């Protein structure tokens, strides 16, 4: 990527990764791993990709429209499992602590040129999908997340930075790993399901099965649900005894519901939500309030975090707008 990209961060996804793994405490004896881990991530991204803009999209109550489609959407999500060494396993994990760290992190980011977007009843992936698809389509973009829902957005201008793997994921990666074009990854997932979001697929079906039985997933960029369902019906009509095809036909109503839940489409956003996204994107003052930043760091006892390095990397990367 020669041109300076725009970096879009799935805020809660990245925050929870650091919150779960980092047991750091501030000088005030408060847990701060989510804060310093997230800020360190931004520092790293600024140095590595030298973006022209960094945008953080936060979850804001989930998608009301998806809950209208399926009232159990994301209801079955398990609590975040702490991934800490045995020396820190007894450190308490409370909702109050998470909320404190999130509130402090958001306050800190407001003193930087980082754009934050928070819209009621809107998921981060819907915000980022809207921005990727409608804003500066021919500008390089990097989405920071460990969520595979975003694979459907991959194209020649859009890549994903996986903070878990520390790897830049592109369209070829998805094709090589699953033999499925990224444009069809969401389509395949409608049949596979997504356990983390409580979305049930066709029993026993995985990505390998889908790519093996339906080559169209690797051959046709605009493959559709009808392509898969019609192919399944044709197999049954010609006497094929493979159980998969019959299971797909029996599961068709659920599969079509899954598509509505999983496909990232700006139609999931109301006109008011789109207006709010655009307002927050366009009205962020691109400035770095260094003194206020230091005051918050000192107030919260985060002095062990290298705020000077953070300031230099952000200023260097975004120097044309600060």
- Beta carbons within 8 Å of 180's beta carbon, 6+ residues apart: 174, 188, 207, 210, 211, 217, 218
- CATH fold of 6-177+265-317 reads Rossmann fold (3.40.50)
d(CA 234, CA 230): 6
- Residue 169, beta-bridge partner list: 160
Residue that wins the pLDDT comparison between 321 and 208: 208
15: phi then psi, degrees, rounded to nearest 5: -60, -50
- pLDDT tens profile 65-119: 777 776 666 665 544 444 444 444 555 567 889 999 999 999 999 999 999 999 9
- Residue 60, beta-bridge partner list: 122
Domain ranges of the chain: 6-177+265-317, 182-262
| pLDDT for res 249 | 97
DSSP state for residue 160 in the 8-state scheme: E
| Cα–Cα distance list, 47 to 5, 142, 261 (Å) | 12, 14, 36
Q: Are 247 and 203 in contact (CB under 8 A)?
A: yes
Q: Vertex 197, ends 90 and 227: CA angle to 5°?
A: 150
pLDDT at 12 over 80: yes
- CATH fold of 182-262 reads DNA polymerase; domain 1 (1.10.150)
- By three-state DSSP, how is residue 216 classified? helix
pTM recorded for the entire structure: 0.90
| Cα–Cα distance list, 190 to 64, 167, 211, 305, 306 (Å) | 20, 26, 13, 43, 44
| pLDDT for res 84 | 45
- Beta carbons within 8 Å of 259's beta carbon, 6+ residues apart: 186, 187, 190, 225
DSSP per-residue string spanning 161-187 = EETTTTEEE-HHHHHHHHS--GGGHHH
Residue 13 tokens read as 């996804």
| pLDDT for res 93 | 60
- pLDDT tens profile 171-196: 999 999 999 999 999 999 999 999 88
**Count of residues in the chain:** 322
- Across the range 136-156, mean pLDDT stands at 93
- Across the range 293-301, mean pLDDT stands at 94
DSSP per-residue string spanning 46-106 = HHHH--SEEEEEPPBS--HHHHHH-TTTTTTPPPPPP---TTTTTS---HHHHHHHHHHHH
- Helices 271-282 and 124-134, packing angle to 10 deg: 70
């Amino acid at each position: 990527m020669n041109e300076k990209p725009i970096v879009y961060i799935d805020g809660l996804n990245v925050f929870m990764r650091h919150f779960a793994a980092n047991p750091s405490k501030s000088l005030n004896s408060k847990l701060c791993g989510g804060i310093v881990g997230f800020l360190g991530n931004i520092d790293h991204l600024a140095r590595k990709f030298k973006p022209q803009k960094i945008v953080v999209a936060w979850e804001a109550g989930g998608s009301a429209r998806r809950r209208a489609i399926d009232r159990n959407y994301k209801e079955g999500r398990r609590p975040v499992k702490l991934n800490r060494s045995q020396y820190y396993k007894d450190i308490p994990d409370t909702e109050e602590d998470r909320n404190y760290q999130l509130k402090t992190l958001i306050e800190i980011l407001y003193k930087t040129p980082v754009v934050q977007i928070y819209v009621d009843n809107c998921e981060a992936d819907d915000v980022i999908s809207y921005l990727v698809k409608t804003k500066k389509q021919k500008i390089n973009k990097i989405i920071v997340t460990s969520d595979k829902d975003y694979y459907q957005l991959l194209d020649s201008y859009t890549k994903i930075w996986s903070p878990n793997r520390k790897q830049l994921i592109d369209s070829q990666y998805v094709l090589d790993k699953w033999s499925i074009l990224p444009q069809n990854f969401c389509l395949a997932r409608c049949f596979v399901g997504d356990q983390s979001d409580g979305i049930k697929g066709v029993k026993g079906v995985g990505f390998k099965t889908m790519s093996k039985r339906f080559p169209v997933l690797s051959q046709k960029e605009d493959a559709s649900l009808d392509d898969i369902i019609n192919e399944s019906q044709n197999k049954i009509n010609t006497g094929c005894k493979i159980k998969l095809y019959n299971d797909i036909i029996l599961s068709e109503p659920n599969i079509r519901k899954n598509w509505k839940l999983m496909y990232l489409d700006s139609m999931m956003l109301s006109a008011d939500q789109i207006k709010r996204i655009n307002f927050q994107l366009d009205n962020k003052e691109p400035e770095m309030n260094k003194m206020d930043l230091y005051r918050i760091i000192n107030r919260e006892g985060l002095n062990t975090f290298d705020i000077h390095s953070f300031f230099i990397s952000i200023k260097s990367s975004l120097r044309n707008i600060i």
